[in-house]
Structure 1
Amino acid sequence: MDIFSWLFQRAPHKSEICDICRPHFTNSGTSTPETSIPKTYDKIDARILDEAQQAACHGCWIACFAISLIQLTMETKLDARQVKELSLRMQSDKDVPDGMGKTTSKFFMGVLHLNGHRSLDSVEIFKVYQAAEESKVWFEGLFNPAKPYDLPTPLYLERAADRQPISGKTGSDKAFETAMQWLENCLRTHAKCGDDIAPPQLPTRVIDVGMDGPVRLVEPGSKRAPYVCLSHRWPTHTKILRCLQENIEALKEHIQKEALSQNFQEAISFVRRVSAWYNRMHPDREPLRYLWIDSLCIIQDSEEDWERESARMCAIYENATLTVASASGGEGCFSEAERVYQGFKVTNPARPNPTLYLRKELPHYEQPLELFTRGWVLQERLLSRRLLTFAPQELIWECLEVVDCECTVLAEGQKASSEPDAAAVNVCGPADEPEEAQYDVFSQYRNPAMYKKNNPNSHVISSPVKIAHQTSLQGRGRHREANLRYWWRRLVVMYSQLHLTVNSDIFPALSGLASQFGQATGQTDGDYVAGCWKSSLLEDLLWIVDPSEKKKEGEQPVDYRQKTWRAPSWSWASVSSQVLYRQHDPSWPEALVETYAHIISTKMVTAGANPLGRLVSASLHVRGPILVGNPNDFDKDLGVEVEYSGDTAARLTDLDGLQAFLLMAKYRDYDLEHSDTESTDWCFLHLDQADSAEFRYRRLGLLILSSEQPVATQKVPNLADERMHSCFKTRKIQDIELL
């Protein structure tokens, strides 16, 4: 067909927008659509559903397509007999990024049901610009003077977000090309990630995938070469090939393909492609041909080998050129995206550039990947310099500098959340300032308008987790130590909500991160005590069981303490629940924190060769004030609020008789709304005598007492401590052993 025939046979040009569909495209993007139902003026005009109208107006056709796609993707299918009213609007946040820093453009369909219930569902609309074809535009212009690119851009096209379609198949050539673009860009331009020119020493055992010949297990000795790690979940219902004392020699000869799970087969296939690409792109470097998989590179029935290799996790993942995370949710590494996520082209043939798409929004944050709910995977993810995740719908890239995905939403969110490093800001005032002057500085700091500017950790909180981790470890400035203490507790909070198949792995599965953290902070293995650090041990003990976990259980109290001992009672690892910390901001002025208890010494006995691994026993020698009383009997007229979080099934109202509490620390703060009011929190460990010895105790929970009073001055003394002490029967400084 010649160019002229092609031009004359094109479909008749539709109008791009009309008075019928325009109202659905013109709503402002300044509101939050997720929390508001489209209004009456968004009510769907029945004429939009008419086929003749859709043929006449491209905007009407898009609106109708959006309605159909939303109905297709709704979790609960729509029953037309129960619907009173439907409304539709396009919501563009191009100028107002959402809470994750990304911009979106969506069609929202609101449903008013006959019973009065309202629901809201949406699909994403986005555009992709193609390279201009000037010759084609010139020829079309000869025969179509009123061509669309001379007309105003329709609202739905103007307000559509800039995105990319996904490959649809994570094992495809297109997906592989995207992954290698990420990898090459990282190798060439990311200083934090390293260029890998100098190869690392290989782990004790690796799998030689080669390009030809058998796949086999090798023990490379002191050889140095690049390698790839695999992060995966061990299946619970099917067996996988493991390295055992009885088959290790056979694995060194040949690993039979049919003996491998689909997951491992596809991982090896992918690494072979990476190997061919890497060796072609970097012929001057040591070839990449090795893969590390825990189940095949650690002798699983040798406790000695398992302990030794688990202690090397930090180096194994840190030194890998790439870690591949198999998170497809299926039996293999690769997956095919659901059709609604791949998207549908809704471009007007008369305006081919940009290409316009509708699709269901990909669930980057709303649905955490199942793999990332596993305890071992947190350190595999954070220790790796580069992580390529095979998610159910698309590939996701995380390194120490960039987060990206095939649809580009994550990259956009990262750009929006990036902040300059503010760690050198002095928010506490000079150390020799009088206390009241430090209050003035602190009051300014607590002002919400000043928070982001002065908070040394604000740019970390909203960052992707790998970048936040790296930023915290490498941060500088006067707040470095406080930031690091704060970040370790954030890691504990994240880790405590994850799942372990073997409960005794609680410390081994964190030992790589503990090793890395110790190196970054100049601490030794001996400074690590049952998931806490000696340098911040006092505040590390002030954890509570997540209250939301208790609410899930209703009125029945639950004992969160592990039935089989794995950690001392004072460690967060002693409970089987997510924990939270009653902690303050890392830049909290030291003048406003007062400690009462002191750690005299620690005793730790580990179970094996990993000094950061499993424990046999652990205890603390603590000196501090023990106060005896019962919070249920406190005088309410004293103005002291009581908050109690138990680690066991006991609730505050269950506490009978006199109880012992170790006073740990006191925190003072200004009320944000009333600058003349000061609040004070006292944190206590609730103790129970462990045995017949008077000085041996176990932790039962955390008690927090709070009080408010006018800001202390020379004329107005602080009477809060006096009121707090009057709540208890007795107070005595004691040396105790905390088990």
Structure 2
Amino acid sequence: MSTRILRFGSGIGNCHIHDLVVRVCSPMLRKRGTDIEIQRIGSNLFLKGHASPVLSLYKSPPTTVLSPAVVRPQARHSVLDTIQIGFPDLQQVHLSTYFALVSHWIQDCNTNHSQCGRRDPSTGRPLLPTRLIDVGRGDFRTIESAGGETVRLVFTPPMPEDDLKTDARYIALSHPWGSAQNHNHFCTTRQNLASRIRDGIAIADLPATLRDAVIVTRALGVRYLWIDTICIVQGADGDFDTEARLMETVFSLAYCVIAASCADGTSSGFLSKQKLHGRRDFVALDLMETNGSSAENSGTPSLYICEAIDDFQRHVIDGPLNKRGWVLQERALARRTIHFTQWQTYFECGAGVRCETLTKMQNNQAAFLGDPNFPTVALQSSKGARIRLYELLYTTYSGLHFTKSCDRSIAIAGLEQRLVKAFDTHGGYGVFDGPFFGRSLLWKRDERVPRNVMRPITFPLHERYYHVPTWSWMAYEGVIAFMEIPFDSVEWQHGSEEGLSSPWTTSLEEDNDGSASSPSGSVVWHTGKANEQTVLKAMARVFLESVPLSEIETKIVYDAGEAPGGKDGVELRCVIVGRQKSSKGQATNWTLLEHYVLVVGRKRASSKNTTYYRRLGVAALPGRWIDQDGLAQRISII
């Protein structure tokens, strides 16, 4: 690492490098005359105090062709040896060299990354989505060159066996729909399904984002494409409910995923929106050999100082597309993804990230969300690490946006199914059974997010929707966190007479210690099963009257942000989920121990003999505040 300090705004003759530094750094500085401290780490230059590089260094390829028969080796330069090979100009997307680079990334992944390989179930036939778009063969770069061509929607079950054997690959599109007022969603419905299969779809009629996906699919030599708006029948009489549950296989078995990261919606496109292609600032240095010969004649590489555009965190992870609720699982389930951003194209797979500038990098989420065989990392981790991983997944997901908030419980279905299988347990609605049960129930409203409250989602009275229980964060809009509970120091109460019973306990075997466990091979994902109950059975206790309610409420994190209102208020109860373990060798004094509880309130009775409760929040309370000597009430939380 090396450091250089410049004076911002002070002229240094006609120094192009100084001008470039001032140009790229000035938006980050408050006033002229400020000292600029630049640090070089590898091929990147950083402005002190900023996490992202402001400039990048590149060197041209290591040899210069002097004639068809003579190649002079690169002269040795200790500084140049640490600098990335590349060029300052990026290829325009309509050029064959651009798609040749993208194809090279995929082929290299096919050849060298065994962890990114497709894993089909042993069914004898490739597992394909219900419908695909047959984009045909041939190549075109623009809509003008496509002419009057069409693509066709096809059902995969009746596809000829030869087609499945020779080209069962398909690409899946991850994209924002955008508002219906500004974007043509181009949905398949029961009314146009037959014509799209029989007559096809004119490429010229496709909205720009979907048309760009067709262009990329053809350019990569792949015949089939999956787009949700076209391949799923939309509308009240469609098959969204069935198809949404298949997203685990749709994205995980795709040959590659196209992420339209710079698109605003279906009509905006993503190929023409990569604005900075070939337009970033750079300075080229003509390096001189010690004998005075030029770099061009000596074989010494040229050095370029360029405006930095390699920022996967900002362009992709923190980008607008990844703020969409549906996209989290699309990225996590994909074996590899091509991200089309406003700045450049990125390729992400299990081996890391490649940039169009030829830079290779790792990202801090690749080990989990970039895992091509999600959740391999969780399987290889300790119990504590698994807990932290699913907490990261759910807290991240809860902060994402939905056009329809009622999709919150189903848009993560593929990932939840994977986790249920990986943890070898039952689970659903954001909660896992067995050793994860108590912790996953103790989610809370994230108090760090300004004006964040958990608002109940109103699910339409339609057969595709179902009841989501109040004990699940999926029943609400709002950002969640999990209670900070130390590992290996809690006695969990679920499964015992004094604690909670899983809603799926009746279908499970009971271990000797009373905790529910699933027989080997019988794990089940329960979200959205309308024929199942989602009732938590629990023992509820009252708070001691000697403790003022106002004091108790200082410890409660209410889901709604405040205590429930009403003329007479709500009679609060608490359910003990876990209790702090006492120190070894000491007598247990439960009054001094921390208790982790669900706070619940009474709902209206739904029958003559049954009174149901709803979740109101969570708390960590000293045992002396809870009446544990009195008679506890057996309740149902729905």
Q: Deviations over 1:473-520 (max 9, x none)?
A: 66347x3x5544443332211211111111221222122222333333
2:437 to 537, 543, 546: 537
Aligned residue among 501, 509, 513 for 2:403: 501
Alpha-carbon separation, structure 2, partners of 1:727 and 1:195? 54
Alignment of 1:183-582 (within 5 A): 183-194=106-117, 200-211=126-137, 214-221=150-157, 223=159, 224=164, 225-236=168-179, 237-252=182-197, 253-275=199-221, 288-301=222-235, 303=237, 305-330=239-264, 331-334=268-271, 335-338=273-276, 342-348=280-286, 350=288, 352=295, 353-366=301-314, 368-407=318-357, 411-414=360-363, 463=367, 465-467=369-371, 470=374, 472=376, 475-476=379-380, 479=382, 483-523=385-425, 527-535=426-434, 536-549=436-449, 551-552=450-451, 558=453, 560-564=455-459, 567-582=468-483
C-alpha deviation, 1:259, in angstroms: 1.9
Structure 1 CA distance for aligned equivalents of residues 282 and 47 of structure 2: 14
Taking only the aligned residue pairs, the percentage that are identical comes to: 19
| 1:527-585 deviations in Å (ceiling 9; x for gaps) | 33323223333221100111122x347xxxx5633355862211011221111111557
Q: CA deviation at 1:267?
A: 0.9
Map of 2:141 onto structure 1:
none
Residue pair 2:541, 2:627 contacting (<8 A) in 1 also: no
Aligned to 1:130: 61
Contact 1:629 1:659 in 2 (8 A): no
* Residue 633 in structure 1 maps to residue 572 in structure 2: no
Residues 341 and 359, structure 1, Cα contact 8 Å, conserved in 2? no
Counterpart of 1:264, as a letter, is L
Structure 2 unmatched ranges of 5 or more? 139-148, 289-293, 296-300, 461-466, 506-524, 584-591
**Which of 569, 591, 603 is the matching residue for 1:690?**
603
User: In structure 2, the residue corresponding to 1:106 is in which secondary structure?
Assistant: strand
Q: Does 1:88 align with 2:30?
A: no
Structure-1 separation of matches of 2:9 and 2:210: 53
In structure 2, the partner of 1:11 is none
Question: Does 2:64 correspond to 1:106?
Answer: no
Q: Which residue of 2 aligns with 1:446?
A: none
Asked whether the 8 Å contact 1:562–1:575 carries over to 2, the reply is yes
Q: 1:180 corresponds to which residue?
A: 103
Report the Cα offset of residue 614 of structure 1. Answer: 7.7
1:595-646 residue CA offsets vs partner (Å, 9 max, x unmatched): 3653335279xxxxx964486995323233524247972899xxx9963311
Rounded to whole Å, the distance in 1 between the matches of 2:89 and 2:580 is 50
- From 13, 18, 21, give the equivalent of 1:66: 21
State the one-letter code of the partner of 2:556.
Y
Deviation for aligned residue 1:294: 1.0
Distance 1:320 1:474 in 2: 22
Deviates more, 1:513-522 or 1:569-578: 513-522
Contact kept, 8 Å, 1:105 with 1:124, in 2: the verdict is yes
Structure 1 CA distance, aligned partners of 2:243 and 2:499?
36
Secondary structure of the 1:508 match is: coil
CA deviation profile, 1:429-483 (whole Å, cap 9, x unmatched): xxxxxxxxxxxxxxxxxxxxxxxxxxxxxxxx78362229735466347x3x554
Deviates more, 1:724-733 or 1:183-192: 724-733
Q: Which amino acid in the other structure matches residue 216 of structure 2?
A: F
Whole-Å Cα distance in 1 between the matches of residues 135 and 201 of structure 2?
10
- Contact 1:200/1:319, CA 8 A, preserved across alignment: no
Output the CA distance in 1 between the equivalents of 2:546 and 2:185. 54
C-alpha displacement of 1:67: 1.3
List aligned pairs for 1:587-598, cutoff 5 A. Answer: 588-589=487-488, 592-595=490-493, 598=499
After superposition, the Cα gap between the structure-2 partners of 1:538 and 1:734, relative to the gap in structure 1 and judged at 3 Å, is farther
Aligned-partner Cα distance in 2 for 1:509–1:159: 44
Distance 1:215 1:194, change over 3 A: same
Which amino acid is the alignment partner of residue 412 of structure 2? L
Question: 5+ residue gaps in structure 1?
Answer: 1-24, 29-37, 55-60, 95-102, 111-118, 142-147, 276-287, 418-460, 605-609, 671-678, 706-722
The TM-score normalised by the length of structure 1 is 0.66
Q: 2:135 and 2:127 mapped to 1: Cα distance?
A: 17
- Measured in 1, the distance between the counterparts of 2:528 and 2:94 equals 37
Task: Identify the residue that residue 49 of structure 1 maps to in structure 2.
Answer: 12
Could you report, residue by residue, the CA deviation over 1:262-303 in whole angstroms, capped at 9, with x for unpaired residues?
11111111111112xxxxxxxxxxxx4111111111111354
User: 1:194 and 1:364, CA in 2 relative to 1: closer, same or farther beyond 3 A?
Assistant: closer
Kindly tell me: are residues 65 and 727 of structure 1, through their superposed partners in 2, closer, same or farther at Cα, counting changes over 3 Å? same
Q: Quick one: distance in 1 between partners of 2:154 and 2:340?
A: 26
SS of equivalent to 1:650: coil
Secondary structure at the residue paired with 1:396?
strand
* Amino acid aligned to 2:191: E
Which SS does the other structure have where 1:598 is aligned? Answer: coil
SS of the equivalent of 1:85 reads coil
Select between 396-405 and 192-201 the one with higher mean Cα deviation: 192-201
Cα gap change, 1:595 to 1:174, in 2 (>3 Å):
farther
Alpha carbons of structure 1 residues 471 and 517: separation in structure 2 relative to 1, 3 Å: closer
Select which of 576, 579, 582 maps to 1:663.
576
TM-score (normalised: structure 2) = 0.75
Amino acid at match of 1:133: T
1:363-384 deviation line (CA, Å, top 9, x unaligned) = 4223522111111111111112
Report if aligned partners of 2:44, 2:53 keep a CA contact under 8 Å in 1.
no
1:442 corresponding residue in structure 2: none
Q: Secondary structure at the match of 2:117?
A: coil
CA distance in 1, matches of 2:52, 2:126: 50
How many Å apart are 1:684 and its aligned residue? Answer: 1.1
Partner of 1:283: none
1 CA distance for matches of 2:133 and 2:51? 50
User: Are the aligned partners of 1:627 and 1:663 in contact in 2 as well (CA < 8 Å)?
Assistant: no
Shift of 1:396: 1.6
Query: For the residues of structure 1 that align with 2:376 and 2:205, how far apart are their CA atoms?
Result: 43
Aligned-partner SS, 2:190: coil
For residues 309-368 of structure 1, give each alpha carbon's deviation from its aligned partner in whole angstroms, at most 9, with x where no partner exists: 222221222211111111123511213333797341331364642422220444422352
One-letter amino acid of the structure 2 residue matched with residue 231 of structure 1: S
Aligned residues: 554
Distance 1:69 1:378, change over 3 A: closer
- Structure number with greater Rg is 1
- Cα distance in 2 for partners of 1:261, 1:502 equals 22
Deviation at 1:173, TM superposition (A): 3.0
- Cα pair 1:507 1:612 within 8 Å, conserved: yes
Distance 1:546 1:228, change over 3 A: same
C-alpha displacement of 1:307: 1.9
Q: Residues 544 and 647 of structure 1 are in contact (CA less than 8 Å); yes or no, is this contact kept in structure 2? A: yes
Q: CA RMSD in A?
A: 4.1
